[in-house]
Amino acid sequence: MLKQYLQFKLSQKLSPQQIQLMKLIQLPTQAFEQRLKQELEENPALEGGKEDSQDDLDSDFDNTDDFDDNESNTEDINIDEYLSDDEVPDYRTQVNNYSTDDEEKTMPYAAGTSFTQHLVNQLNTYRLSDEERDIAEFLVGSVGESGYIRRELSDIVDDLAFTQSVYTNEEQVGKVLKIVHQLDPAGVGARNLQECLSIQLHRKEKTVDTELAINIIDNAFDQFTKKHYKKLLHKFNISENQLKNAITEIEHLNPKPGGSYAGNNRIVEHVVPDFAIKIIDGELELTLNGRNAPELHVSREYNNMLKGYKDAKDKSKSQKDAVIFIKQKLDAAKWFIEAIKQRQQTLFVTMSAIMHYQKDYFLTGDERNLKPMILKDIADEIKMDVSTVSRVANSKYVDTPYGTKLIKEFFSESMKNDQGEDVSTREIKKILETVIEEENKKKPLTDENLASILKEKGYPIARRTVAKYREQLDIPVARLRKKI
C-alpha cells in the first residue's frame, strides 16, 4: 500500500561563494597570485590598481537594482537561465569539480634534454645492430627517475615481443644491458642497489681500498647493509682500518644515479613566505605579505553601461540581455573583492593567534619552547572553524628570525612530563634527536636505552613511543647507525 506524507528537514549547505572563499584561504601567496590573474582575465568588470572615485562607484553600483521598467524588471530574471555556460562565473562551474588534494599544474616545464634522451644520445657512440639498438633504446626507456630498471629480464623480453615486435631472449637482453651499464652517470640501468654500487666501483681506479669495496659489495652485501662489521672483519681477514677505508669508498658512491642528471627540464620551487614575524624592542610584530593584499576595484566602464541602460527610454531585448550579463559580471567582481578582504583578515587573525600562542618560541627560536598546540586551540581562540585554521596552516609559510617555517610545524600533540606538566611532542623529539646526535656511533643507543635517557631527563615515555618518534624523524634503528 502506497502512502504519501510530508517531511520537514532543516539542513545547512555551503553556497558556491562560501566554498570558493575557503579555497582562496587555502591558497599560498604564489598560487593566490595565479588565481587573481585568472579572475582579472576572465572578468572584464574587475580591474586592478587604485580607483580615484571608488566611493562614488560603489554608490552607483549599489543602486543598480533600482531599475524602473514596466515591461520587464531585470531583478525578476534568473540570470543563470538566460546565460550560456561559458558566461557563468568560474566559481559556479568549478567549485564542486575539484578535490582539495588536486594539484594545479600551471607552471610549464622548461625546455631541455630529458634524462631518457640524454641516455639515448650516448647510445649513438656505440656500434650496435638494428636489433641491439631497439633493445638498448627499450632498456633506456625503462630506466626510472632514480636511474634503475625495476623489471625482470623475462618481462622485458615479453614486452619487446608484444610492443616492438622484437623477438629475442634473456641472454641477448642481458648482453645489451651491459652496454647500458657503460652509460653515464655511472650506475644507471642497474636493477638493484647492489648492482648499482658494483657498477660504480668497477669503473673507479683500482686501488687496495676499491678492490676490497668491490669484494664486500659483490660477495657480502647482506652483511654490509646490516652492518655486521665483525663478520666482515673475520670473512675477509682484514683490520678495522682497512674496512673503514673500504666503507668510505662505498659511502662516496651515488645510490640514485638518475638524481645526478642536471637536465634543464626540472622545476625549481621557490618558497614565498605568506607572513613575516620580526622582534622589535622585545615584542613580536606580524605582517602579511603585501602580495596577498592587491588593490582591486569594479570597472567604472561596466558601471556606466548599467547606468546607460537605466537612463535609456526604449529598452530592446538585446539591451536587456546585455544588462543581465553586465550585472552578473559586476556581482562576481564585487564578490571577489569582498572575498579577498575576508581572506586577508582570516589569514592575519589566524597567524596572529598562532604567534601569540607560541610567543616563547618566536622570541627565542628554541624548539623546546614550543607549547603543545592543536588546531582546535587556535579555532577556539579566533572563534572560527577548525577546517579554516587547517587551511591557513597547511600550505603557508612564515618568515621568522630563525628561518622560513611551515606553519603546520608549530602544531603538536601534548604529553605529560614527570612533573605532570603538558609538554609538546616536538620538544621531546628535539631532545631525542640531540641525544642520538651525541651518542657513540660505535655503540649506538637502542630504543630501550633512549627511553631510559628520556626518562632521566623527565620524559617518561615507552620504548614503542621512542621508536615511533625516531621513525617520524627519519632516524634508522641503532644497528644501522653504527659506524666502525
Q: What is the 3-state secondary structure (H, E, C) of 387-443?
A: HHHHHHHHCCEEEECCEEEEHHHHCECEEECCCCCEEEHHHHHHHHHHHHHCCCCCC
Q: Is 313 in the same domain as 436?
A: no
Grid cell locating 269:
620551487
In a domain, 109, yes or no: no
Last residue of a domain, one of 197, 227, 260: 260
| 122 and 165 both lie in a single domain | yes
pLDDT score recorded for residue 60: 41
Q: Are 208 and 231 in a shared domain?
A: yes
Q: Report the pLDDT value the prediction gives residue 423, as an integer from 0 to 100.
A: 74
Compute the distance between CA of residue 339 and CA of residue 366 in angstroms, rounded to an integer: 37
* Same structural domain, 278 and 221: no
- Reference 46, options 332, 290, 277, 450; nearest CA is 332
Residues 302 and 405 in one domain: yes
Do 246 and 121 lie in one domain? The reply is yes
Which domain CATH number covers 430? 1.10.10.60
Q: Domain count for the chain, please give it.
A: 3
Tell me the C-alpha distance between 114 and 283, whole Å.
51
Query: What pLDDT is stored for residue 82 in this prediction?
Result: 31
Instruction: Tell whether 7 is covered by a domain.
Output: no
Residues 392 and 467 in one domain: no
Q: Judge whether 108 lies within some domain.
A: no
The reply to whether 187 and 249 lie within a common domain is yes
**Global pTM value:** 0.54
Classify residue 446: in a domain, yes or no. Answer: yes
Q: Is residue 103 part of a domain?
A: no
Residues 194 and 286 grouped into a single domain: no
Say yes or no: 276 and 395 in one domain: yes
Domain end point (choices 380, 411, 442) = 411
Structural domain including 428 reads 414-484
Instruction: Please identify, among 411, 430, 453, the residue that sits at the C-terminal boundary of a domain.
Output: 411
Question: Among 206, 201, 205, 182, which Cα is nearest to 252's?
Answer: 201
Q: Which strands form 397-400's sheet, in the order they lie side by side?
A: 283-288, 275-280, 397-400, 403-406
d(CA 156, CA 136): 11
Is residue 227 located within the same domain as residue 137? yes
Q: How far is CA 456 from CA 278, 418, 424, in A?
A: 36, 9, 17
**pLDDT one digit per residue (tens) for the chain, 484 residues:** 676 767 666 555 556 667 777 888 888 888 888 888 888 888 888 887 766 554 444 444 444 444 344 333 444 433 333 333 444 344 433 334 434 444 444 444 444 567 888 888 888 888 888 888 888 888 888 888 888 988 888 888 888 888 888 888 889 989 999 998 998 888 888 999 999 999 999 988 889 999 999 999 999 898 888 888 888 888 889 898 998 899 889 988 888 888 766 454 554 457 789 999 999 998 999 999 988 888 888 778 877 777 776 666 666 677 777 778 888 888 888 888 898 899 999 999 999 999 999 999 999 988 878 888 888 999 999 999 898 899 888 889 999 998 899 998 888 877 777 676 667 777 788 888 888 888 888 888 888 889 888 888 888 888 888 888 888 888 888 877 877 7
Residue 107 in domain? no
> Where do the DSSP E strands lie in 289-325?
296-298
pLDDT of residue 81: 36
Same domain, 256 and 274: no
Q: Is residue 6 part of a domain?
A: no
Residue 4 forms part of a structural domain: no
What pLDDT sits at residue 261?
Answer: 64
